[in-house]
């Protein structure tokens, strides 16, 4: 099971502000170089983002669809990785005192990734989540700090 968590030094609403900003998706999701709304109003149920992944000289565009949302608490996405298949990515944001405990739970869902899912795949996903949560924390904490200075 590919589940990882991180304590982020910001309030849950500040974490949600970043998760709910479609233009920030590529700032915290490892491997993406840009993102834009494909349809709907992100992160409403059924809305989708299109994003670009660059691997050396190759560029691939794909989509992420919101499958479940509880505003400021949970965001469940279906990430389409083309021929590899899709994955369910659940992001849970909980208050932890004045901070936020963010948990990411990812499982291959459809396609070859789902068929070949094993402990080795989970280990690779865990490594990516470590980087993703570190990036998310950086974006959120910088955003929260900028908001604090703006009010001062």
Rounded average pLDDT over 93-100: 97
Say whether pLDDT at 18 is over 90: yes
Q: How far is CA 17 from the centre of its chain?
A: 13
Say whether pLDDT at 64 is over 80: yes
pLDDT at 96: 97
At residue 81, φ and ψ (nearest 5 deg) are -110, 35
Q: Alpha helices, DSSP H only, in the chain?
A: 12-19, 25-28, 111-115, 119-151
Report pLDDT digits (tens) over 19-46.
Answer: 999 999 989 988 888 889 999 999 999 9
pLDDT at 150: 55
pTM, full prediction? 0.88
Enumerate residues 6+ apart whose C-beta is below 8 A from 90.
68, 74, 75, 76, 77, 103, 104, 105, 106
CB of 68 closer than 8 Å to CB of 45: yes
The string of DSSP letters for 15-54 reads HHHHHT-GGGHHHHSTTEEEEEEEESSTTSTT-EEEEEEE
The domain defined by 2-31+72-151 carries CATH number 3.30.530.20: yes
Domain ranges of the chain: 2-31+72-151
């Amino acid at each position: 099971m590919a589940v990882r968590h991180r304590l982020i030094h910001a309030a849950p609403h500040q974490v949600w502000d970043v998760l709910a900003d479609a233009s920030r998706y590529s700032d915290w999701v490892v491997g993406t170089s840009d993102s834009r709304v494909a349809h709907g109003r992100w992160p409403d149920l059924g809305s989708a983002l299109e994003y670009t992944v660059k691997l050396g000289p190759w560029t691939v565009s794909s989509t992420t669809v919101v499958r479940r949302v509880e505003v400021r608490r949970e965001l469940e996405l279906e990430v389409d990785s083309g021929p590899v298949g899709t994955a369910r990515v659940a992001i849970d944001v909980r208050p932890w005192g004045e901070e936020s405990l963010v948990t990411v739970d990812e499982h291959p869902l459809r396609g070859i990734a789902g068929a070949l899912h094993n402990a080795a795949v989970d280990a690779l996903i865990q490594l990516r989540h470590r980087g993703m949560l570190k990036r998310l924390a950086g974006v959120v904490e910088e955003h929260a700090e900028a908001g604090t200075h703006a009010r001062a």
